[in-house]
Structure 1
């Protein structure tokens, strides 16, 4: 009985018959090829099979038990393509199955092999290739592969802006592409770290020139782009404090520096000072005690700790 799925009975029968027919077939037969078929024909046959049997063709349909059948069919086809299109894997497979090396169509005297292609074979192959390259599914696949390749190459060169643009297009075209999503997150992080370093360098130059407001803005950007950049957060807190900005902003920057680098004595001292100014003596005391554990002879921490206990 035909199953109640979004496939007509004829297609259901075709899938069942194909799955059965695949059992025990060699890799060439799985792709509908003669033994020993060249790599070019293997690739061509795989493209045609993918257009017909790729699970993505059935996206959004109720397939029931046929989903597993379709996935098994395509998995076997993909496996055959993977082996027969790779020189090393193909040779190992043929060594294990010498009968599949194929036979020459004719032979010349002395054992030299001659091929006698059928008239029109090349024309038909070229026409079929041109037709397939115009197919929307194949064109989309080719575009995704091209963008992924370019994105990886740009990442390797350190051109993160270009990599981001290409990988972002891949995700827009194929939101479920895990590789592109992972690479995009990585490239975004590296791009932000790269920009953070540039903002940090600019901030240091501006601070030397005593342009403190602009330097503070660059420190803020550096810290925002790379939340793990402890020095950027520390310098932003220090400058914000010197310029008399809002207490809470100073505290946020100082706290971030300590969170990222808790064993830094200068960072803890600055945060303690900020907390004391904000009447948060108990919190300041904890940081000062941490400083003295790191540096027992730190005179500034000792003085501030005394002040936190006896503010008068």
Structure 2
């Protein structure tokens, strides 16, 4: 999958200092730091390649830049100041690895690849043990770094025990593959909503007449213009009232409106100004989007361009055929944004999205079970929480999310809420009662724990854990 490219306008850039073609000005007006190149192509009814070309030229002028992925910053220097007998470079390495350990998979943690053989993995593990095992610094003051090193070394040992053995490695590889698939799907789902909302705002921001104007023909002779002045009249002669004249008039109106928006200058008196409809905000978003859809289709037909809604529908069809439901749902969501009047697209989206939710739910369950079996409690708590959110009637998922949080030493308040939610769904669940009692004991809420144990005893008076937990409270 190609990397998504998102342009944004450079703050305080001086537009008046540079010449831009009408096409570049049109593209620039659609850049907001959220929409990607494909989205801007949808708005402008230009080919994505032409949009990318315009963006690249504006980047060369210092007017636009690509949005870069966020990179976590280094810890403040004050965190590294401690009276210890290891150098600052090692302190920084320990601290960074400690902070990132939970986000790294076993291969990343050991610094090997998924194709590394057992000998390479073993070599990497023992090399890292010399750095992160506290015994390597016997007799030296390690301060708080000792505890961090112990945590990191334990995680590295766990990773080595898994990917250093073929059977466990095969199971982990299947788990890792599912993790990558589900993470990519969730990222697409989250991102498409942001894109769709930005697209709707961009569409409804413009008057209907502005959308009905034909986009700049990329094949037309290039001519530069300054943002502070209107474009010059066409040099070629056309007959008044002809189709060419009408298209030129609509194009001129579009460009002048965009220029007036930037320079706040009144329209030129030397040119007739047609009566313009009111902005779409006054006729309602739904009416606006319907009108915009029609005008975009007409524009695509006049220019020979692609109906962008149909383009997304075809993308969705191919994605679904290949089994990528997340990509299919994403494409259909954007198609709906561009053509909200079509009930068939909305029905396709509901169908695909329903299948996608079931698919993700099944994957999260599989992931959670693997994480439980391998004592990956923090990860298991997240996976079970996602299952619980996706299936509100499931009483087991919130209980297992609570158990995972308790085992991971996580947020006891969240653990209590999950356990209580499970109990609300299944009031006669002995496991949920006992789990809630354990959470209260861990939180120091003995009275609440005793009440839960009393309720548990009503369900099974002779249960061993009821007896043990009561002894723990009394003790």
With normalisation by structure 2, the TM-score equals 0.29
With normalisation by structure 1, the TM-score equals 0.41
Structure number having the greater helix percentage: 1
Relative CO higher for 1 or 2, CA cutoff 8 Å, sep ≥ 6?
A: 2
Larger Rg: 1
